[in-house]
Amino acid sequence: MRWNLRMKAAERGIWKSAELRRRLADAGLEISAGKMSALWTGTPTTIRLDDLDVICAVLDCEPTELLIREPEKVAALRPAKAAINQAGPTSVTPRLGHPRSTPPV
């Protein structure tokens, strides 16, 4: 996923992260300078859904406009996983020395 906050903010005439931070505070969402920097630069590690809701309200957009799917990145991960699956089924071998008890009659 790619984070599209700066583009949505620019569409609303917000060009600086400090301006967006102020508008978010006016809407009841206090964000630290560090978290705002991560949101603004496109590198957020986590975001609460409540916070996302306020951001969308301030920018008058939907979450799908802020989160852009990148299917090519997902596809790039598949060959490595497919190679593991093509290796064939793994065989199950019993552990010796730990015999199972017989079921009750």
Residue in the structure block whose two tokens are 């986590």:
46
pTM (2 d.p.): 0.68
Domains of the chain: 2-68 (1.10.260)
Please tell me the distance from the alpha carbon of residue 105 to that of residue 98, in angstroms, as a whole number.
21
Q: How confident is the model at residue 5 (pLDDT cuts 50, 70, 90)?
A: very high
pLDDT 10s digits, 67-105: 888 888 888 887 655 555 555 566 777 667 666 777 777
The DSSP H or E segment spanning 3 is strand 2-3
pLDDT 10s digits, 21-75: 999 999 999 999 999 999 999 888 889 999 999 999 999 999 999 988 888 888 8
Amino acid at 68: I
Please tell me the distance from the alpha carbon of residue 71 to that of residue 1, in angstroms, as a whole number.
8
Furthest C-alpha separation in the chain: 77
State residue 81's pLDDT score: 53
Please tell me the distance from the alpha carbon of residue 86 to that of residue 83, in angstroms, as a whole number.
5
Mind giving me the DSSP string for 33-100? Answer: HHHHHHHHHT--S---HHHHHHHHHHHT--HHHHEE--HHHHHHHHHHHHHHHHT-PPPP-PPTT-PP
